[in-house]
Amino acid sequence: MKKQDRVLIFDTTLRDGEQAPGASMNDREKLEIAFALERLGVDIIEAGFPVISPGDFASVVAVAKNIKKSIVCGLARSIKKDIEAAHAALKAAKCGRIHVFLATSKIHLDFKFRKSQDEILAMAVDSVKLARGLMGDIEFSPEDASRTEREFLYRVLESVIKAGATTVNIPDTVGYSIPEVYGQLIADIKNNVPNINKAVISVHCHDDLGLSVANSLAAVKNGARQVECTVNGIGERAGNASMEEIVMALKTRADYFGVTTGINTKEILRVSRMVSKATGFLVPPNKAIVGHNAFRHESGIHQDGVLKERTTYEIMSPDDVGFVGTSLILGKHSGRHAFKERLKVLGIELKENELDKAFERFKAVADKKKQVFDEDLLAIVDDEAQTADQVWSLERLVYQSGTAVEPSVELTLKSKGKTFVKKATGDGPVDACYKAIEMITGIKGALLDYSIQSVTRGEDAIGEATVKVEIEGVSYIALGASTDIVEASAKAYVNAVNKAIGKRTR
């Protein structure tokens, strides 16, 4: 049997994914996701755009210092200060890569740069030479490659490889291409760039026409051996190619693609949930691979088929991507050791102080709920992680509401060991909570979006509230969890305020 080629997975969740409006993550969240991506087996982690802000620089430094198995990458324009900033941020990396980009399409040359092809070519070559003088692993991206004139694209690729690029990326920057055309583009590059065998061909596709995964797979079929993608497909505009869909398509249809990846697919669901929590972007129930309904069957015909033989209606096993089921596993009489062991099964290991807080929260939930499911445990841990080391925390909440009663709350927040109490009224108990929070913290926000969903089934399910709040001109997405949806809503708003304070402090 012919040995399968290896496709490298380049994850840009922390860079391109974070550029999705409202998806900003703090340093702690970025580092936790980087560790999760490393456990997942991602080959390259694009940690950020170091020159863009001190915060981005610091987060790339943190990832570079702590990640040992994956290559850590920093993005840079074809500008000296960008390349030097990327190099400085990556100095501590065990394996580092500078990713240089420069637009090459006619529309960008005419309207953005107002430069000739020869001038752009010279800029590309000079930037790659500079980067290669600082670091051995260099990637070059001709931005908007899918709309670049072919002969010019071939010239650029040949020249940057000669200048020292070890990977050349072919971005479909605006999601314009379609699979047949994009796959042929990769084939044509292989046939028309004389030194292409000296570099890895990478692809980076956006989802403006809903074709990013299909385009990426067509590229792999035609010789691309690195795919750039994000967890849950998050990213600018309509997003990027979805990492989990790329990986599972290559695994499930290995008979067709004849390639493999180094991804530990059992970690997929875990990292998907982590990114969803950090960004506040909920995963749609019908999302391929990681949606709640991805492996659920309601049709009687489907249920009957799956019970007789799973493969009748499932082409993948839920276990393959990390689904662990929702059976009752703990209750109010369960001890700390059992709680800790169950978290380990779910892939969660906490420090002793974190475990103590999570266990205390679990006991409180177990007193309220008849059944405690794995999803409840994950929600408890995620909610505790959000409130760790933050300025304000919700201490107490009393509210009344009804059809003939003016909604009112008495809300207590804690900060630096002191408690603050305020009463407020509003259009509803949630609105009253938000007014009380603003009165205590002195931070006024505009609620742009609000949603709530149950974590598990049943009347006593934990509810997760997601809010999008604009504070001082910046949008923040935050979550809160509780069996009481008003409490969950208040926690979410407090978490948004804490994010704003954190950003202001940084």
For residue range 198-245, what is the model confidence (pLDDT) as tens digits? 999 999 999 999 999 999 999 999 999 999 999 999 998 999 999 999
- Decide which of 300 and 127 is more confident: 127
Residue 446: exposure state from Cβ atoms within 10 A (0-12, 13-18, ≥19)? exposed
Alpha-carbon span 65 to 47, nearest angstrom: 11
Q: Assess whether pLDDT exceeds 90 at residue 359.
A: no
DSSP bridge pairs for 174? none
- Of 437, 436, 449, 433, nearest to 401 by C-alpha is 433
**21-30, 195-204, 478-487, range with greatest mean pLDDT:** 195-204
CB 109 within 8 A of CB 142: no
- The tally of CA atoms less than 13 A away on the side-chain side of residue 119 is 7
Strands 259-260 and 5-6: parallel
pTM for the full model? 0.81
Instruction: For residue 149, give the nearest of 95, 105, 118 by alpha carbon.
Output: 105
- Amino acid identity, position 2: K
Q: Note the pLDDT of residue 204.
A: 98
CA-to-CA distance for 242 and 240, rounded, in angstroms? 6
CB count within 10 Å of CB 368 equals 13
* Rounded Cα distance, 206 and 281, in Å: 18
State yes or no: pLDDT of 303 exceeds 70. Answer: no
Predicted pLDDT of residue 324: 63
pLDDT bracket for residue 67 (50, 70, 90): very high
With 70 as the cut, is the pLDDT of residue 492 above it? yes
Res 327 pLDDT > 60: no
- Residue 140: pLDDT over 60: yes
pLDDT at 299: 47
pLDDT at 395: 93
Question: Which of helix, strand or coil describes residue 395?
Answer: strand
Residue 255 has pLDDT above 90, yes or no: yes
Strands 474-482 and 463-471: antiparallel
Is pLDDT above 60 for 297?
Answer: no
Q: What is the pLDDT of residue 326?
A: 45
- Reported as a pLDDT band with limits 50, 70 and 90, residue 377 is confident
- Residue keyed to tokens 């990426």: 216
Over range 87-103, report the average pLDDT: 97
- Flag the least confident range among 135-149, 177-191, 299-313, 318-332: 299-313
pLDDT at position 378: 75
Asked whether residue 505 carries a pLDDT value surpassing 90, the answer given is no
Number of neighbours of residue 311 by Cβ within 10 angstroms = 10
What percent of the chain has pLDDT above 70?
90
Q: What percent of the chain is modeled with pLDDT above 90?
A: 61
